[in-house]
Chain A
Amino acid sequence: MGKSLFLSLDGTDLAVGAAVAANFAEAFDVIVLTSTVNDSFGAEKVMATGWASLPPAAAYAGELAKLATGYARVFAVSAMWSKDLLPRAAGVADAACVTDVLSIESDTRFTRPMYAGAIVATVEVSAPQTWFTFRPVGFPAVSDAGASVPTETVAIQVDDSAVRNIGTRAKEGGRPDLSAAKVVVSGGRPLKDAASFERVIGGLADALGGAVGATRAAVDAGIAANELQVGQTGKIVAPDLYIAAGISGSTQHMAGIKDSKLIVAINTDGDAPIFSIADLGLVGDLYEVLPVLERELKKA
Protein backbone atom coordinates (compact mmCIF):
# COMPACT_ATOMS: atom_id res chain seq x y z
CA MET A 1 0.00 0.00 0.00
CA GLY A 2 1.05 3.57 -0.52
CA LYS A 3 2.47 5.57 -3.36
CA SER A 4 5.63 4.72 -5.30
CA LEU A 5 8.46 6.97 -6.39
CA PHE A 6 10.50 6.09 -9.46
CA LEU A 7 13.97 7.58 -9.77
CA SER A 8 14.83 8.00 -13.42
CA LEU A 9 18.36 8.82 -14.48
CA ASP A 10 17.57 10.62 -17.72
CA GLY A 11 13.96 9.85 -18.64
CA THR A 12 14.82 7.08 -21.13
CA ASP A 13 13.93 4.44 -18.51
CA LEU A 14 10.46 5.83 -17.81
CA ALA A 15 8.57 3.19 -19.81
CA VAL A 16 10.17 0.36 -17.83
CA GLY A 17 9.81 2.28 -14.55
CA ALA A 18 6.09 2.54 -15.26
CA ALA A 19 5.98 -1.23 -15.86
CA VAL A 20 7.42 -1.79 -12.39
CA ALA A 21 5.06 0.76 -10.83
CA ALA A 22 2.13 -1.14 -12.37
CA ASN A 23 2.81 -3.98 -9.91
CA PHE A 24 1.57 -1.80 -7.08
CA ALA A 25 -2.00 -0.64 -6.67
CA GLU A 26 -1.44 3.01 -5.96
CA ALA A 27 -0.17 5.83 -8.17
CA PHE A 28 3.46 6.70 -8.77
CA ASP A 29 5.52 9.85 -9.10
CA VAL A 30 8.80 10.29 -10.91
CA ILE A 31 11.96 12.26 -10.25
CA VAL A 32 14.12 12.63 -13.34
CA LEU A 33 17.64 13.27 -12.08
CA THR A 34 19.60 14.59 -15.05
CA SER A 35 17.11 15.47 -17.76
CA THR A 36 13.47 16.36 -18.40
CA VAL A 37 10.68 14.39 -20.07
CA ASN A 38 7.52 15.16 -21.98
CA ASP A 39 5.44 12.03 -21.50
CA SER A 40 4.22 10.80 -18.14
CA PHE A 41 3.79 7.05 -18.83
CA GLY A 42 0.98 7.23 -16.31
CA ALA A 43 2.87 8.97 -13.52
CA GLU A 44 0.82 11.31 -11.38
CA LYS A 45 3.58 13.83 -10.96
CA VAL A 46 6.86 14.24 -12.82
CA MET A 47 9.64 16.15 -11.11
CA ALA A 48 13.07 17.14 -12.43
CA THR A 49 16.14 18.38 -10.59
CA GLY A 50 17.59 20.48 -13.37
CA TRP A 51 21.02 18.86 -12.93
CA ALA A 52 23.25 18.34 -15.93
CA SER A 53 25.02 15.41 -14.31
CA LEU A 54 24.80 13.33 -11.14
CA PRO A 55 26.54 14.72 -8.06
CA PRO A 56 28.33 12.22 -5.78
CA ALA A 57 25.66 10.12 -4.00
CA ALA A 58 26.81 11.19 -0.55
CA ALA A 59 26.25 14.84 -1.47
CA TYR A 60 22.47 14.46 -1.86
CA ALA A 61 21.26 11.04 -0.67
CA GLY A 62 20.14 12.55 2.63
CA GLU A 63 18.07 15.26 0.93
CA LEU A 64 16.58 12.67 -1.41
CA ALA A 65 15.61 10.50 1.56
CA LYS A 66 13.79 13.47 3.12
CA LEU A 67 11.96 14.14 -0.13
CA ALA A 68 10.89 10.51 -0.32
CA THR A 69 9.26 10.58 3.11
CA GLY A 70 5.70 9.37 2.74
CA TYR A 71 6.31 7.12 -0.26
CA ALA A 72 5.89 3.42 0.44
CA ARG A 73 8.70 2.56 -1.96
CA VAL A 74 11.37 4.15 -4.09
CA PHE A 75 12.99 2.35 -7.00
CA ALA A 76 15.36 2.70 -9.94
CA VAL A 77 16.81 0.52 -12.69
CA SER A 78 19.78 -1.57 -11.48
CA ALA A 79 22.95 0.24 -12.51
CA MET A 80 26.11 1.44 -10.85
CA TRP A 81 24.66 4.92 -10.21
CA SER A 82 21.57 3.48 -8.51
CA LYS A 83 23.53 0.97 -6.45
CA ASP A 84 25.72 3.81 -5.24
CA LEU A 85 22.72 5.96 -4.33
CA LEU A 86 19.75 3.87 -3.20
CA PRO A 87 21.33 1.88 -0.34
CA ARG A 88 22.79 5.13 0.97
CA ALA A 89 19.45 6.94 0.87
CA ALA A 90 17.74 3.90 2.38
CA GLY A 91 20.36 4.00 5.11
CA VAL A 92 19.45 7.60 5.92
CA ALA A 93 15.73 6.78 5.85
CA ASP A 94 16.32 3.56 7.82
CA ALA A 95 14.30 1.78 5.18
CA ALA A 96 14.63 -1.72 3.75
CA CYS A 97 16.76 -2.04 0.62
CA VAL A 98 16.72 -4.77 -2.03
CA THR A 99 19.00 -4.78 -5.08
CA ASP A 100 18.47 -6.43 -8.48
CA VAL A 101 14.78 -7.31 -8.13
CA LEU A 102 13.83 -9.85 -10.83
CA SER A 103 10.11 -10.08 -10.12
CA ILE A 104 7.53 -8.60 -7.79
CA GLU A 105 5.33 -11.25 -6.16
CA SER A 106 3.43 -8.91 -3.85
CA ASP A 107 3.84 -5.51 -2.19
CA THR A 108 6.38 -7.06 0.16
CA ARG A 109 7.68 -10.10 -1.68
CA PHE A 110 10.35 -9.98 -4.39
CA THR A 111 12.74 -12.35 -6.10
CA ARG A 112 16.41 -11.51 -6.67
CA PRO A 113 19.53 -13.36 -7.84
CA MET A 114 22.27 -14.56 -5.52
CA TYR A 115 25.55 -16.49 -6.05
CA ALA A 116 26.18 -14.96 -9.48
CA GLY A 117 22.69 -15.84 -10.62
CA ALA A 118 22.97 -19.54 -9.77
CA ILE A 119 20.19 -19.07 -7.21
CA VAL A 120 16.97 -17.08 -7.25
CA ALA A 121 16.01 -16.05 -3.74
CA THR A 122 12.54 -15.00 -2.62
CA VAL A 123 12.74 -12.21 -0.06
CA GLU A 124 10.11 -10.83 2.25
CA VAL A 125 10.39 -7.21 3.31
CA SER A 126 9.03 -5.85 6.55
CA ALA A 127 9.74 -2.15 6.98
CA PRO A 128 7.78 1.08 6.71
CA GLN A 129 9.53 1.93 3.44
CA THR A 130 11.42 -0.06 0.80
CA TRP A 131 14.04 1.12 -1.68
CA PHE A 132 14.94 -1.24 -4.49
CA THR A 133 16.72 -1.53 -7.81
CA PHE A 134 15.31 -3.82 -10.50
CA ARG A 135 16.57 -5.73 -13.54
CA PRO A 136 14.56 -4.43 -16.52
CA VAL A 137 14.32 -7.84 -18.25
CA GLY A 138 11.44 -8.98 -16.06
CA PHE A 139 9.38 -5.88 -16.71
CA PRO A 140 8.35 -5.34 -20.35
CA ALA A 141 8.22 -1.60 -20.96
CA VAL A 142 4.71 -0.12 -21.13
CA SER A 143 3.89 1.15 -24.59
CA ASP A 144 1.47 3.89 -23.60
CA ALA A 145 3.51 7.07 -23.26
CA GLY A 146 0.67 8.68 -21.30
CA ALA A 147 -0.28 12.32 -21.38
CA SER A 148 2.40 14.89 -21.86
CA VAL A 149 2.87 16.62 -18.54
CA PRO A 150 4.55 19.73 -17.26
CA THR A 151 7.55 18.76 -15.14
CA GLU A 152 7.80 20.39 -11.78
CA THR A 153 11.21 21.51 -10.72
CA VAL A 154 12.33 19.89 -7.50
CA ALA A 155 15.19 21.47 -5.62
CA ILE A 156 17.48 18.86 -4.09
CA GLN A 157 20.23 20.48 -2.13
CA VAL A 158 23.75 19.24 -2.93
CA ASP A 159 26.38 19.41 -0.20
CA ASP A 160 29.72 18.43 -1.66
CA SER A 161 31.88 19.77 1.17
CA ALA A 162 33.09 16.26 2.07
CA VAL A 163 33.14 14.69 -1.40
CA ARG A 164 33.74 16.37 -4.72
CA ASN A 165 33.87 15.11 -8.28
CA ILE A 166 37.13 16.42 -9.72
CA GLY A 167 37.10 14.61 -13.06
CA THR A 168 35.02 12.36 -15.26
CA ARG A 169 36.07 10.01 -18.04
CA ALA A 170 33.13 8.88 -20.15
CA LYS A 171 33.29 6.43 -23.02
CA GLU A 172 33.28 7.90 -26.49
CA GLY A 173 29.87 7.94 -28.09
CA GLY A 174 28.94 6.30 -31.34
CA ARG A 175 27.94 2.84 -30.20
CA PRO A 176 24.64 2.02 -28.49
CA ASP A 177 24.59 1.73 -24.72
CA LEU A 178 25.57 -1.79 -23.63
CA SER A 179 22.71 -2.28 -21.15
CA ALA A 180 20.03 -1.29 -23.67
CA ALA A 181 21.49 -2.57 -26.97
CA LYS A 182 19.60 -5.06 -29.18
CA VAL A 183 22.87 -6.65 -30.28
CA VAL A 184 26.01 -7.14 -28.20
CA VAL A 185 29.31 -8.53 -29.45
CA SER A 186 31.71 -9.47 -26.64
CA GLY A 187 35.31 -10.56 -26.61
CA GLY A 188 37.45 -12.36 -24.05
CA ARG A 189 41.02 -13.04 -23.07
CA PRO A 190 42.37 -14.30 -26.43
CA LEU A 191 42.11 -10.84 -28.00
CA LYS A 192 45.74 -9.78 -28.19
CA ASP A 193 45.56 -6.07 -27.47
CA ALA A 194 43.25 -3.06 -27.44
CA ALA A 195 43.74 -2.47 -31.17
CA SER A 196 42.78 -6.00 -32.21
CA PHE A 197 39.86 -5.95 -29.78
CA GLU A 198 38.57 -2.76 -31.37
CA ARG A 199 39.19 -4.06 -34.90
CA VAL A 200 37.73 -7.56 -34.52
CA ILE A 201 35.02 -7.13 -31.84
CA GLY A 202 34.26 -3.47 -32.54
CA GLY A 203 34.20 -4.10 -36.29
CA LEU A 204 31.57 -6.82 -36.05
CA ALA A 205 29.54 -4.81 -33.52
CA ASP A 206 29.45 -1.87 -35.93
CA ALA A 207 28.40 -4.09 -38.83
CA LEU A 208 25.46 -5.22 -36.66
CA GLY A 209 24.73 -1.78 -35.23
CA GLY A 210 25.41 -3.26 -31.81
CA ALA A 211 27.29 -2.57 -28.59
CA VAL A 212 30.63 -4.00 -27.48
CA GLY A 213 31.11 -6.05 -24.33
CA ALA A 214 34.02 -7.82 -22.67
CA THR A 215 34.90 -10.35 -20.00
CA ARG A 216 36.69 -9.42 -16.83
CA ALA A 217 39.79 -11.13 -18.19
CA ALA A 218 39.77 -8.80 -21.21
CA VAL A 219 39.21 -5.72 -19.05
CA ASP A 220 41.89 -6.70 -16.54
CA ALA A 221 44.35 -7.25 -19.38
CA GLY A 222 43.74 -3.67 -20.43
CA ILE A 223 42.36 -4.53 -23.86
CA ALA A 224 38.80 -3.34 -23.10
CA ALA A 225 37.46 -0.45 -21.01
CA ASN A 226 36.02 -1.23 -17.57
CA GLU A 227 32.52 -0.04 -18.46
CA LEU A 228 32.34 -2.81 -21.07
CA GLN A 229 32.58 -5.64 -18.53
CA VAL A 230 29.60 -7.95 -18.64
CA GLY A 231 28.75 -10.29 -15.79
CA GLN A 232 28.09 -10.71 -12.08
CA THR A 233 30.06 -7.63 -11.20
CA GLY A 234 29.73 -5.78 -14.48
CA LYS A 235 26.73 -5.03 -16.65
CA ILE A 236 23.75 -7.31 -17.02
CA VAL A 237 22.63 -7.45 -20.64
CA ALA A 238 19.59 -8.97 -22.34
CA PRO A 239 19.89 -8.23 -26.06
CA ASP A 240 18.12 -10.04 -28.89
CA LEU A 241 21.52 -11.28 -30.07
CA TYR A 242 24.65 -11.86 -27.96
CA ILE A 243 27.81 -12.98 -29.69
CA ALA A 244 30.53 -14.33 -27.38
CA ALA A 245 33.91 -14.61 -29.10
CA GLY A 246 36.81 -16.21 -27.26
CA ILE A 247 34.88 -16.41 -24.00
CA SER A 248 35.05 -19.59 -21.91
CA GLY A 249 31.72 -19.09 -20.14
CA SER A 250 32.56 -18.67 -16.45
CA THR A 251 29.61 -18.58 -14.04
CA GLN A 252 30.40 -14.92 -13.42
CA HIS A 253 30.24 -14.02 -17.09
CA MET A 254 27.14 -16.10 -17.83
CA ALA A 255 25.36 -14.37 -14.94
CA GLY A 256 25.33 -11.27 -17.11
CA ILE A 257 24.07 -12.75 -20.38
CA LYS A 258 21.57 -15.48 -19.47
CA ASP A 259 18.55 -13.40 -20.39
CA SER A 260 19.73 -12.75 -23.95
CA LYS A 261 17.29 -14.06 -26.57
CA LEU A 262 19.87 -15.74 -28.80
CA ILE A 263 23.43 -16.50 -27.71
CA VAL A 264 26.11 -17.32 -30.28
CA ALA A 265 29.46 -18.71 -29.13
CA ILE A 266 32.65 -18.82 -31.13
CA ASN A 267 35.45 -20.66 -29.37
CA THR A 268 38.39 -22.85 -30.44
CA ASP A 269 37.67 -25.25 -27.58
CA GLY A 270 34.62 -27.41 -28.33
CA ASP A 271 34.34 -28.24 -24.62
CA ALA A 272 34.17 -24.64 -23.41
CA PRO A 273 31.26 -24.18 -20.94
CA ILE A 274 29.85 -21.32 -23.01
CA PHE A 275 28.56 -23.92 -25.50
CA SER A 276 26.28 -25.33 -22.79
CA ILE A 277 24.12 -22.21 -22.91
CA ALA A 278 24.69 -21.04 -26.49
CA ASP A 279 21.85 -21.38 -29.00
CA LEU A 280 24.34 -21.46 -31.85
CA GLY A 281 27.88 -22.65 -31.40
CA LEU A 282 30.77 -22.55 -33.80
CA VAL A 283 34.07 -24.21 -32.92
CA GLY A 284 36.63 -22.01 -34.57
CA ASP A 285 39.21 -19.26 -34.32
CA LEU A 286 37.60 -15.89 -33.73
CA TYR A 287 40.31 -14.20 -35.78
CA GLU A 288 39.11 -16.19 -38.78
CA VAL A 289 35.37 -16.31 -38.10
CA LEU A 290 34.60 -12.74 -37.08
CA PRO A 291 36.12 -10.92 -40.08
CA VAL A 292 34.24 -13.25 -42.47
CA LEU A 293 31.01 -12.67 -40.58
CA GLU A 294 31.59 -8.92 -40.68
CA ARG A 295 32.27 -9.02 -44.44
CA GLU A 296 29.18 -11.12 -45.17
CA LEU A 297 26.97 -8.82 -43.10
CA LYS A 298 28.25 -5.76 -44.91
CA LYS A 299 27.47 -7.44 -48.24
CA ALA A 300 23.92 -8.26 -47.29
Chain B
Amino acid sequence: MKIVVPIKRVLDPYAKVKPGSDGMSIDSGGAKSEINPFDEIALEEAVRLREKVGAVEIIVVAIGPAESEEQLRKALAMGADKAVLIETTTSPDSRAVALELESFVREQNPDLVLMGKQATDDDSNQVGQILAARLGWPQATFASEVTPGSGSLTVIRETDTGTETLQIQLPAVVTADLRLNEPRYIALPGIIKARSKPLEKRAPATALQSFVTVTGFTAPPARKAGKRVANVEELIAELKAAGSI
Protein backbone atom coordinates (compact mmCIF):
# COMPACT_ATOMS: atom_id res chain seq x y z
CA MET B 1 0.00 0.00 0.00
CA LYS B 2 1.22 3.46 -0.87
CA ILE B 3 0.09 6.58 0.98
CA VAL B 4 0.73 10.20 0.06
CA VAL B 5 0.53 12.70 2.93
CA PRO B 6 0.59 16.40 1.97
CA ILE B 7 2.24 18.58 4.59
CA LYS B 8 1.85 22.34 4.93
CA ARG B 9 4.29 24.55 6.79
CA VAL B 10 2.22 26.92 8.95
CA LEU B 11 2.87 29.36 11.79
CA ASP B 12 2.70 27.81 15.24
CA PRO B 13 -1.07 27.65 15.87
CA TYR B 14 -0.56 28.99 19.39
CA ALA B 15 1.27 32.11 18.15
CA LYS B 16 -0.46 35.46 18.58
CA VAL B 17 -0.84 36.92 15.12
CA LYS B 18 -2.13 40.28 13.95
CA PRO B 19 -2.22 42.17 10.67
CA GLY B 20 1.07 43.83 9.77
CA SER B 21 1.07 47.63 9.70
CA ASP B 22 1.00 47.59 5.86
CA GLY B 23 -2.30 45.67 5.94
CA MET B 24 -0.76 43.22 3.49
CA SER B 25 1.24 40.96 5.77
CA ILE B 26 0.89 38.94 8.95
CA ASP B 27 2.74 39.98 12.11
CA SER B 28 3.53 36.82 14.01
CA GLY B 29 5.91 38.37 16.51
CA GLY B 30 8.68 36.08 15.25
CA ALA B 31 6.83 32.85 16.06
CA LYS B 32 8.26 29.66 14.63
CA SER B 33 6.65 27.49 11.99
CA GLU B 34 5.38 23.95 12.36
CA ILE B 35 3.73 21.13 10.47
CA ASN B 36 0.03 22.02 10.19
CA PRO B 37 -1.40 20.13 13.23
CA PHE B 38 -4.00 18.33 11.11
CA ASP B 39 -1.28 17.11 8.72
CA GLU B 40 0.70 15.77 11.64
CA ILE B 41 -2.38 13.79 12.65
CA ALA B 42 -2.78 12.52 9.07
CA LEU B 43 0.86 11.41 9.00
CA GLU B 44 0.51 9.70 12.38
CA GLU B 45 -2.46 7.79 10.99
CA ALA B 46 -0.42 6.69 7.96
CA VAL B 47 2.30 5.40 10.28
CA ARG B 48 -0.32 3.56 12.37
CA LEU B 49 -1.76 1.98 9.21
CA ARG B 50 1.70 0.67 8.45
CA GLU B 51 1.90 -0.76 11.95
CA LYS B 52 -1.46 -2.46 11.36
CA VAL B 53 -1.22 -3.79 7.82
CA GLY B 54 2.52 -4.11 7.23
CA ALA B 55 3.94 -3.03 3.88
CA VAL B 56 3.00 0.64 3.58
CA GLU B 57 5.13 3.21 1.80
CA ILE B 58 4.58 6.78 3.02
CA ILE B 59 5.49 9.75 0.84
CA VAL B 60 5.15 13.26 2.24
CA VAL B 61 4.88 16.26 -0.06
CA ALA B 62 4.94 19.98 0.68
CA ILE B 63 4.25 22.88 -1.64
CA GLY B 64 5.93 25.93 -0.23
CA PRO B 65 9.10 27.88 0.49
CA ALA B 66 12.54 26.27 0.85
CA GLU B 67 12.13 26.41 4.64
CA SER B 68 9.42 23.73 4.38
CA GLU B 69 12.34 21.29 4.34
CA GLU B 70 12.31 21.61 8.15
CA GLN B 71 8.77 20.24 8.35
CA LEU B 72 9.53 17.50 5.82
CA ARG B 73 12.56 16.39 7.87
CA LYS B 74 10.32 16.19 10.91
CA ALA B 75 7.81 14.16 8.89
CA LEU B 76 10.60 11.77 7.88
CA ALA B 77 11.54 11.47 11.54
CA MET B 78 7.94 10.61 12.38
CA GLY B 79 8.09 7.68 9.96
CA ALA B 80 7.62 8.87 6.36
CA ASP B 81 9.85 7.03 3.88
CA LYS B 82 10.41 9.76 1.34
CA ALA B 83 9.79 13.49 1.06
CA VAL B 84 9.23 15.79 -1.90
CA LEU B 85 9.42 19.56 -1.66
CA ILE B 86 7.70 21.42 -4.47
CA GLU B 87 9.29 24.81 -4.12
CA THR B 88 7.42 28.06 -4.58
CA THR B 89 7.61 31.48 -2.99
CA THR B 90 4.02 32.31 -3.97
CA SER B 91 0.93 31.65 -1.83
CA PRO B 92 -1.34 29.60 -4.08
CA ASP B 93 -5.05 29.29 -3.19
CA SER B 94 -6.58 25.95 -2.25
CA ARG B 95 -7.54 25.16 -5.83
CA ALA B 96 -4.03 25.81 -7.12
CA VAL B 97 -2.58 23.63 -4.34
CA ALA B 98 -5.09 20.89 -5.18
CA LEU B 99 -4.17 21.01 -8.88
CA GLU B 100 -0.47 20.73 -8.10
CA LEU B 101 -1.17 17.85 -5.70
CA GLU B 102 -3.34 16.22 -8.38
CA SER B 103 -0.39 16.19 -10.74
CA PHE B 104 1.84 14.73 -8.00
CA VAL B 105 -0.70 12.06 -7.07
CA ARG B 106 -1.17 11.03 -10.70
CA GLU B 107 2.60 10.56 -10.93
CA GLN B 108 2.89 8.62 -7.66
CA ASN B 109 -0.25 6.57 -8.09
CA PRO B 110 -0.90 5.88 -4.39
CA ASP B 111 -3.81 3.91 -2.90
CA LEU B 112 -4.61 6.65 -0.44
CA VAL B 113 -4.07 10.36 0.16
CA LEU B 114 -4.27 11.09 3.87
CA MET B 115 -4.23 14.78 4.71
CA GLY B 116 -5.40 17.45 7.12
CA LYS B 117 -8.95 18.76 6.99
CA GLN B 118 -7.73 22.33 7.14
CA ALA B 119 -4.61 24.42 7.37
CA THR B 120 -4.53 26.49 10.58
CA ASP B 121 -3.26 29.58 8.74
CA ASP B 122 -5.83 30.01 5.96
CA ASP B 123 -8.51 27.89 7.73
CA SER B 124 -9.74 27.13 4.26
CA ASN B 125 -10.79 23.47 4.53
CA GLN B 126 -10.88 22.77 0.80
CA VAL B 127 -7.79 21.14 -0.66
CA GLY B 128 -8.77 17.53 0.14
CA GLN B 129 -12.23 17.87 -1.38
CA ILE B 130 -10.98 19.64 -4.53
CA LEU B 131 -8.19 17.10 -4.94
CA ALA B 132 -10.63 14.18 -4.60
CA ALA B 133 -12.95 15.82 -7.15
CA ARG B 134 -10.12 16.33 -9.64
CA LEU B 135 -8.95 12.73 -9.25
CA GLY B 136 -12.52 11.41 -9.38
CA TRP B 137 -11.81 9.52 -6.13
CA PRO B 138 -14.22 9.10 -3.23
CA GLN B 139 -13.57 11.19 -0.13
CA ALA B 140 -14.07 10.86 3.59
CA THR B 141 -13.56 14.23 5.26
CA PHE B 142 -13.24 15.02 8.99
CA ALA B 143 -12.21 11.46 9.85
CA SER B 144 -12.05 10.43 13.49
CA GLU B 145 -11.41 6.70 12.94
CA VAL B 146 -9.92 4.80 10.00
CA THR B 147 -10.03 1.00 9.73
CA PRO B 148 -8.38 -0.70 6.76
CA GLY B 149 -10.27 -3.41 4.84
CA SER B 150 -9.40 -5.17 1.59
CA GLY B 151 -9.37 -2.58 -1.16
CA SER B 152 -11.45 -0.31 1.03
CA LEU B 153 -11.50 1.66 4.27
CA THR B 154 -14.13 2.08 6.92
CA VAL B 155 -14.05 5.67 8.12
CA ILE B 156 -15.98 7.21 10.99
CA ARG B 157 -16.35 10.90 10.22
CA GLU B 158 -17.57 13.79 12.32
CA THR B 159 -20.75 15.53 11.16
CA ASP B 160 -22.83 18.49 12.30
CA THR B 161 -25.07 16.23 14.34
CA GLY B 162 -22.80 13.38 15.41
CA THR B 163 -20.87 10.89 13.30
CA GLU B 164 -21.39 8.73 10.26
CA THR B 165 -19.57 5.65 9.07
CA LEU B 166 -18.50 5.49 5.44
CA GLN B 167 -17.22 2.53 3.54
CA ILE B 168 -14.95 3.87 0.79
CA GLN B 169 -13.23 2.13 -2.07
CA LEU B 170 -9.53 2.77 -2.65
CA PRO B 171 -7.99 4.84 -4.08
CA ALA B 172 -9.48 7.58 -1.94
CA VAL B 173 -8.81 10.86 -0.16
CA VAL B 174 -9.27 10.98 3.62
CA THR B 175 -8.98 14.22 5.62
CA ALA B 176 -8.12 14.07 9.31
CA ASP B 177 -10.05 15.72 12.12
CA LEU B 178 -8.49 16.41 15.52
CA ARG B 179 -9.73 13.27 17.19
CA LEU B 180 -8.28 10.78 14.73
CA ASN B 181 -5.24 10.20 16.94
CA GLU B 182 -2.60 11.88 19.03
CA PRO B 183 0.71 12.18 17.13
CA ARG B 184 3.64 10.42 18.70
CA TYR B 185 6.62 12.01 20.29
CA ILE B 186 9.64 11.82 17.99
CA ALA B 187 12.49 9.89 19.57
CA LEU B 188 16.15 10.66 18.82
CA PRO B 189 16.82 7.52 16.69
CA GLY B 190 14.03 8.63 14.36
CA ILE B 191 15.62 12.05 13.94
CA ILE B 192 19.01 10.53 13.16
CA LYS B 193 17.53 8.01 10.74
CA ALA B 194 15.60 10.78 8.98
CA ARG B 195 18.83 12.48 7.94
CA SER B 196 19.60 9.68 5.51
CA LYS B 197 16.11 9.39 4.05
CA PRO B 198 15.53 10.82 0.55
CA LEU B 199 14.25 14.40 0.24
CA GLU B 200 13.74 15.55 -3.33
CA LYS B 201 13.29 19.18 -4.36
CA ARG B 202 11.58 20.16 -7.54
CA ALA B 203 9.73 22.95 -9.31
CA PRO B 204 5.94 23.01 -9.55
CA ALA B 205 4.45 21.01 -12.43
CA THR B 206 1.48 23.37 -12.79
CA ALA B 207 1.10 27.14 -13.10
CA LEU B 208 -0.14 27.46 -9.47
CA GLN B 209 -2.70 29.95 -10.73
CA SER B 210 -5.10 31.16 -8.04
CA PHE B 211 -8.78 31.98 -8.54
CA VAL B 212 -8.93 33.53 -5.07
CA THR B 213 -6.39 36.20 -4.15
CA VAL B 214 -5.94 37.82 -0.75
CA THR B 215 -5.83 41.59 -1.15
CA GLY B 216 -5.54 42.71 2.45
CA PHE B 217 -5.64 41.86 6.14
CA THR B 218 -7.47 43.66 8.92
CA ALA B 219 -8.04 42.91 12.59
CA PRO B 220 -11.48 41.66 13.58
CA PRO B 221 -13.61 44.00 15.71
CA ALA B 222 -12.21 43.73 19.22
CA ARG B 223 -14.29 42.71 22.22
CA LYS B 224 -13.52 44.51 25.41
CA ALA B 225 -13.47 42.98 28.85
CA GLY B 226 -16.64 43.85 30.70
CA LYS B 227 -17.59 43.84 34.33
CA ARG B 228 -16.57 41.56 37.18
CA VAL B 229 -19.36 40.48 39.47
CA ALA B 230 -18.75 39.28 43.01
CA ASN B 231 -21.31 36.51 43.31
CA VAL B 232 -24.23 34.67 41.72
CA GLU B 233 -26.81 37.18 42.95
CA GLU B 234 -24.99 40.03 41.23
CA LEU B 235 -24.62 37.92 38.11
CA ILE B 236 -28.35 37.27 37.98
CA ALA B 237 -29.12 40.95 38.56
CA GLU B 238 -26.80 41.92 35.68
CA LEU B 239 -28.28 39.30 33.36
CA LYS B 240 -31.76 40.57 34.17
CA ALA B 241 -30.70 44.18 33.60
CA ALA B 242 -29.25 43.21 30.22
CA GLY B 243 -32.48 41.43 29.31
CA SER B 244 -30.61 38.16 28.85
CA ILE B 245 -32.83 36.20 31.21
A interface vs B, CB < 8 Å? 56-58, 61-62, 79-81, 83-92, 94-100, 109, 111, 113-127, 161-171, 179, 208, 216, 219-220, 225-227, 232-233, 235, 240-241, 251-252, 258, 261-264, 275-284, 289, 292-293, 296-297, 300
**Interface of B, helix, strand, loop or mixed by DSSP:** mixed
Residue among A121, A126, A275 with most chain B CB within 10 A: A121
With the chains together, A300 CA to B245 CA distance in Å? 10
Partner of A123, one of B144, B215, B218: B215
Residues of A within 8 A of B107 (CB): none
Total residues of chain B contacting the partner, CB 8 A: 80
Residues of A within 8 A of B53 (CB): none
Residues of B129-169 whose CB lies within 8 A of A: 129-134, 137-142, 144, 154, 158-169
Contact yes or no, A297 B217, CB < 8 A: no
Q: Which residue of B lies closest to A9 (CB)?
A: B160
Contact yes or no, B17 A84, CB < 8 A: no
**Given contacts A99-B126, A126-B211, is CB(A165)–CB(B225) below 8 Å?**
no
Q: How many A-B residue pairs have CB under 8 A?
A: 251
B interface vs A, CB < 8 Å? 11, 13-14, 16-19, 26, 93-95, 98, 117-118, 120-134, 137-142, 144, 154, 158-169, 172, 177-179, 211-220, 223-232, 235-236, 238-239, 242, 244-245
Contact yes or no, A123 B214, CB < 8 A: yes
Chain A min CB distance to B142 (Å): 6
Partner of B235, one of A96, A99, A124, A264: A264
Contact yes or no, B18 A118, CB < 8 A: yes
Contact yes or no, A165 B228, CB < 8 A: no
Residues of A within 8 A of B128 (CB): 87
Contact sample, A vs B, 27 pairs, CB 8 Å cutoff: A57-B129, A81-B160, A86-B129, A87-B128, A88-B132, A91-B132, A96-B95, A97-B94, A99-B126, A114-B123, A115-B17, A115-B26, A115-B120, A116-B120, A118-B17, A119-B26, A164-B166, A168-B159, A168-B162, A227-B159, A232-B120, A241-B245, A277-B223, A280-B227, A280-B229, A281-B227, A282-B231
Q: Which residue of A lies closest to B153 (CB)?
A: A163
Partner of A169, one of B95, B154, B162, B244: B162
Residues of A within 8 A of B227 (CB): 279-281
Residues of A within 8 A of B19 (CB): 119
Partner of B164, one of A123, A167, A289, A293: A167
Partner of A124, one of B121, B212, B217: B212
**Given contacts A88-B133, A162-B168, is CB(A97)–CB(B212) below 8 Å?**
yes
Residues of A within 8 A of B18 (CB): 118-119
Q: Which residue of B lies closest to A168 (CB)?
A: B164
